[in-house]
Amino acid sequence: MAQVDPEDGVAEKPEPLPSRQVEKVEVRLVQIPVIAQDRNGRPIGDLTADEFVVKEGGEKLPVAFLDPFVPAVERPGPDGEVRLYVGAPGGWDGVVTSGPGEPRYMVIFVDVENDQKLSRPEAMQDVLRFVEEELDPSFRTAVMSYNGEVHQEVTFTADKEAVATGIRRAYARPSRPQLDLTARIQGLIRELEQCEVGESTAYSFERAADEACLRTVALQYGDEHRPQSKDYLHALEGVVRYAGGLKGRKSVLAVSHGVAVDSTTEVLEAMRAYYGNTEQLATLQLHIMAGEGARLEMDELMALAVQQQVALSFVDRNSAPTGTGGARQSVQPMPGARPYEAAFVAAQADLEEIATHTGGVFRHTPQDLFRGLKQALSLEEGGYMLGYYVDEYFSPKRLRRVKVDTTRKGVELVHRRGYYSSPTYSDTFVGTIALGTPLRLEDDGRAGQFQPFTIVVDPKGLGYTDAGGGEAVANLTLHFRVETVEGRPLADSYHFLMHAYPIDLWNAGDVEPVTINGWVELPPFDYRLVAVLRNARSGLGGEFATTLSVEAVPAAPAASSTSR
């Protein structure tokens, strides 16, 4: 209702009600990782900001900065080693020390489920050689494996021996029994053969089929193989959520052939192999789009990877099947039909789409896994972090598509296809880093400081859920970093932990804060302690930090002597 001014009796306009749909103008820096390579896939590391062209919605935006993935100049830091310990489960359980260069985070994902069994021991040796020869000390590497389920073999560490142990454990895991691709497609063709109607010879180019029978075979084939593709996508989703809690550049390097998300291509090619390119194929295609659900899950995976800023790269060592089964084939495929190749390439096409969309690369190096891994990693030398500013209305749930080009001839760019706005954390999320009483340290006459700390977090903003069994549960990631005040990381520790409260206390709001203790040893310098805590499932959480300075103790004056 309008209000009346008592002095003049004129009705004032009512205050407008706030809109429930909140979109706001923000000026923010967008950072897009870009990989530059020549037409032969070799990295190009000498591009300048003036050679990049950035467009959003057709509008050209100026480049604010361009930093190479591998900095040419080391930024200032303390003169001495930083040592960090975080007493949280699910991570590195020892003391972390600072190393050369800025840390780069990589998950090596070993897929034994979809890897050909032939020469698998040699493949493991290729990965071990890659770890030993190609990973420099700046890498923090985790190892995860997939054999129908995801297993964490080792968490992020710079210890190459620990990474090698994780690789060996991954390759020692048994995969689920399954038919190889050639036998699978041959079985599909035999099923389709049963749908033939009328009489024909084995080499006839005019075969007719019962469409209802073809449709049944196709749908059954899709139903049989859809769970395998969904399991694979869920595995990649778990790896992305695990790595998403990291602050900094993070990537997944998967040794995998993958799984075709949609079986339509291989089913249609198998039909073409037996019945030829008939009108029935076009009619049936609309009825056998069996992979729609999995395709949507693949889209969700790519969106999640973009939101979490995780680049997915794949290296496939598998060799394409020839399909020449000799006596095992009852019927020769129709001319031009390549059912085995189509099934093989379908899985690779999905991996390439995921890699391209998230800013990664796909490499197929049959029987030479080391070369493929080296190629994928070498592109880091041609990698840049490109930054520009946006100032407009946007929604945190809408993908903003970005196109990055270069004016230099002969250069190809790989980059993430877009970005989302910064996540909006719950208003109830509260986190602090409480500093304890410091202790002065002396090392070879140079002063340092032992600093205990406690991470304290209000759990109400983390999205705990009722998991049954009388508990409210959250899957938490904690990335704790010691940085310079300018943001250069010095030492960090990453943890993945399941945390729970009794459900009755949670519902009553009677829960204690989440507390995690730790300590850090620091030489004289100015520092930031940064904690990034989030619920991997809900995405809720936040980043909080504190600063401290460690002063050098002045040298004691030399004792004077008096001659007598």
Structure-block tokens of residue 520:
């850090």
Eight-class DSSP state of 230: H
Q: Which of 395, 419, 443 finishes a domain?
A: 419
Note the pLDDT of residue 328. Answer: 42
What whole-number distance in Å separates Cα of residue 437 and Cα of residue 519? 11
Beta-carbon count within 10 A of 398 CB: 11
| End-to-end Cα separation, the chain, in angstroms | 100
Q: Please say if the pLDDT value at position 194 is more than 90.
A: no
Note the pLDDT of residue 6. Answer: 45
What whole-number distance in Å separates Cα of residue 300 and Cα of residue 233? 10
Pairwise pLDDT comparison (3 vs 317), residue with the higher score: 317
Is residue 529, in this structure, part of any structural domain at all?
yes
Contacts of 282 (CB under 8 A, 6+ apart): none
Is residue 458, in this structure, part of any structural domain at all?
yes
Q: Please say if the pLDDT value at position 24 is more than 50.
A: no
Tell me, yes or no, whether 396 and 513 share the same domain. no
Beta strands in 51-199 (DSSP E): 52-56, 59-61, 65-68, 83-86, 96-97, 104-111, 139-146, 150-157, 196-197
Q: Which of 376, 403, 419 finishes a domain?
A: 419
Query: Which range, of 154-168, 397-411, 524-538, averages the lowest pLDDT?
Result: 397-411
Note the pLDDT of residue 235. Answer: 95
Is residue 15, in this structure, part of any structural domain at all?
no
Contact 499/527 with Cβ under 8 angstroms?
no
**CATH number of the CATH domain containing 477:** 2.60.40.150
The mean pLDDT of 282-297, rounded to a whole number, is: 66
**Residue-number span of the structural domain to which 37 is assigned:** 24-75+385-419
Tell me, yes or no, whether 482 and 392 share the same domain. no
Confidence of residue 186 (pLDDT cuts 50, 70, 90): confident
Is residue 408, in this structure, part of any structural domain at all?
yes
Contact 151/173 with Cβ under 8 angstroms?
yes
Tell me, yes or no, whether 492 and 414 share the same domain. no
Tell me the three state secondary structure of residue 400. strand
Bridge partners of residue 311, in order along the sequence: 251
Tell me, yes or no, whether 450 and 401 share the same domain. no
Read off φ and ψ for residue 88, nearest 5 degrees.
Answer: -120, 145
Is residue 55, in this structure, part of any structural domain at all?
yes
Beta-strand pair 96-97/104-111: unpaired
Tell me, yes or no, whether 434 and 517 share the same domain. yes
Tell me, yes or no, whether 432 and 545 share the same domain. yes
Tell me, yes or no, whether 442 and 533 share the same domain. yes
What whole-number distance in Å separates Cα of residue 92 and Cα of residue 365? 33
Angle (CA) 130-301-297 rounded to 5° is 130
Confidence of residue 23 (pLDDT cuts 50, 70, 90): very low
What whole-number distance in Å separates Cα of residue 537 and Cα of residue 539? 6
Is residue 51, in this structure, part of any structural domain at all?
yes
Note the pLDDT of residue 293. Answer: 64
Tell me, yes or no, whether 433 and 542 share the same domain. yes
Is residue 92, in this structure, part of any structural domain at all?
no
Q: Please say if the pLDDT value at position 532 is more than 50.
A: yes
Q: Please say if the pLDDT value at position 336 is more than 60.
A: no
pTM of the model: 0.81
Note the pLDDT of residue 240. Answer: 94
Tell me, yes or no, whether 543 and 438 share the same domain. yes
- How do residues 345-362 score in pLDDT, each as one tens digit? 989 999 999 998 888 889
Looking at the structure of the chain, the number of domains it has is 2
The segment with the largest mean pLDDT, out of 106-115, 377-386, 483-492, 533-542, is 106-115
What whole-number distance in Å separates Cα of residue 491 and Cα of residue 470? 38
Would you give the distance in Å from CA 512 to the centre of its chain? Answer: 32
Number of H helices, E strands in the chain: 10, 28
What whole-number distance in Å separates Cα of residue 332 and Cα of residue 339? 11
Q: Which of 397, 419, 441 finishes a domain?
A: 419
The mean pLDDT of 185-194, rounded to a whole number, is: 86
The mean pLDDT of 212-234, rounded to a whole number, is: 86
Confidence of residue 276 (pLDDT cuts 50, 70, 90): confident
Bridge partners of residue 412, in order along the sequence: 37
Is residue 285, in this structure, part of any structural domain at all?
no
Note the pLDDT of residue 514. Answer: 92
Tell me, yes or no, whether 539 and 445 share the same domain. yes
Pairwise pLDDT comparison (395 vs 144), residue with the higher score: 144
Residue 309 parent element (H or E): none
User: Helix 211-244 and helix 181-193: axis angle, to 10°?
Assistant: 150
Confidence of residue 438 (pLDDT cuts 50, 70, 90): very high
Q: Which of 256, 217, 238 is nearest to 355 (CA)?
A: 256
Mark out the alpha helices in 30-150 (DSSP H runs): 120-134
What whole-number distance in Å separates Cα of residue 462 and Cα of residue 465? 9
Structure-block tokens of residue 441:
């340290």
Structure-block tokens of residue 325:
């089964």
The mean pLDDT of 445-463, rounded to a whole number, is: 87
Tell me, yes or no, whether 397 and 444 share the same domain. no
The mean pLDDT of 249-273, rounded to a whole number, is: 87
Q: Please say if the pLDDT value at position 270 is more than 50.
A: yes
Tell me, yes or no, whether 430 and 541 share the same domain. yes
What whole-number distance in Å separates Cα of residue 356 and Cα of residue 353? 5
